[in-house]
């Protein structure tokens, strides 16, 4: 109990946020249909809400508001000074972390057709680090989270679901128009994401 109070005190007044790329409606709809088919087959899991489908570039756990504002200023100035150029992506294939045999997180992959997605991600990561926002330094693997297993049974069911997915594509190629900084609020009914800042692309 004491630990919970200490954690709440540490995060009070901070912002939980992440940089992301939004998905077009046809891609989101295709992902939603794919997951609906899994649920219709009786596969149990913690299914992500379609409202939260996005490509995360850089996640900050809890950062002070002034640090977040500084991060946004640095990122916007960087992208204004040096435009990253057009980016074209596609949602294709499925997989899991830590692996498809025992899924903890199931995802749809993101393919880079044109442009420098890794370079764009590195630039917002550096802005977050320089501003003291404590970005997640895990290796970047472009994906869209679809479901999470909450037990060994669910993990086995998800593994079977992934094996039967085949070579699947979700909607057509798309060109993102902007990056979005989302604030993420954890609620009993799931995470709620609210946009706080934008950076134009291309």
pLDDT per residue as tens digits for the range 23-38 = 999 999 999 999 999 9
Q: Where are the domains of the chain?
A: 16-82+89-200
Quote the pTM value: 0.89
H or E segment to which residue 73 belongs: helix 65-81
At 148 the three-state DSSP class reads strand
How far, in Å, are 11, 81, 121, 173 from residue 84 at the CA level?
34, 10, 11, 18
The Cα–Cα gap between 108 and 90 comes to 10
Mean pLDDT of 4-25: 74
Distance CA 145, CA 98 (A): 13
Residue 85 has pLDDT above 90, yes or no: no
The rounded mean pLDDT for the chain is 91
pLDDT over 90 (residue 130): yes
φ/ψ bin of 50: left (φ > 0), alpha (ψ from -120 to 50), beta (otherwise): alpha
Q: How far apart are CA 99 and CA 141, in angstroms?
A: 13
CA distances from 4 to 7, 11, 16, 99, 189 (A): 5, 11, 17, 31, 20
Check pLDDT > 50 for residue 135.
yes
What is 16-82+89-200's CATH number, 3.40.50.2300, 3.20.20.70, 3.90.1140.10, 3.40.1010.10?
A: 3.90.1140.10
Q: Which residue has the tokens 């995802």?
A: 107
Of the listed ranges 33-42, 87-96, 178-187, 188-197, the least confidently predicted one is 188-197
Question: Position of tokens 């404590």?
Answer: 134
Return the structure tokens found at 38: 């899994």
Work out whether strand 105-114 and strand 15-21 pair parallel, antiparallel, or are unpaired.
Answer: unpaired
Instruction: Quote the pLDDT of residue 191.
Output: 74
Q: Which two three-digit tokens encode residue 88?
A: 């074209």
Q: Map tokens 């794919």 to a residue.
A: 34
DSSP letter at 48 equals P
Q: How confident is the model at residue 42 (pLDDT cuts 50, 70, 90)?
A: very high
The residue among 85 and 25 whose pLDDT is bigger is 25
């Amino acid at each position: 109990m004491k630990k919970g109070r200490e954690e709440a005190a540490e995060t009070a007044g901070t912002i939980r946020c992440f940089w992301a790329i939004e998905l077009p409606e046809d891609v989101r709809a295709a992902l939603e249909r794919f997951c609906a088919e899994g649920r219709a087959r009786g596969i149990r899991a913690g299914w992500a809400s379609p409202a939260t489908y996005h490509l995360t570039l850089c996640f900050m756990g809890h950062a002070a508001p002034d640090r977040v504002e500084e991060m946004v200023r640095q990122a916007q100035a960087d992208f204004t000074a040096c435009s990253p150029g057009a980016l074209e992506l596609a949602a294709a294939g499925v997989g899991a972390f830590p692996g498809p045999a025992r899924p903890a997180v199931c995802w749809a992959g993101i393919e880079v057709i044109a442009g420098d997605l890794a370079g764009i991600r590195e630039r917002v990561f550096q802005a977050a680090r320089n501003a003291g926002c404590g970005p997640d330094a895990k290796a970047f693997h472009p994906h869209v989270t679809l479901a999470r297993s909450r037990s060994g049974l669910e993990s086995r069911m998800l593994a079977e679901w992934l094996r039967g997915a085949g070579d699947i594509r979700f909607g057509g190629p798309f060109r993102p128009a902007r990056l979005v900084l989302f604030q993420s609020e954890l609620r009993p009914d799931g995470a709620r994401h609210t946009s706080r800042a934008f950076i134009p692309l291309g």
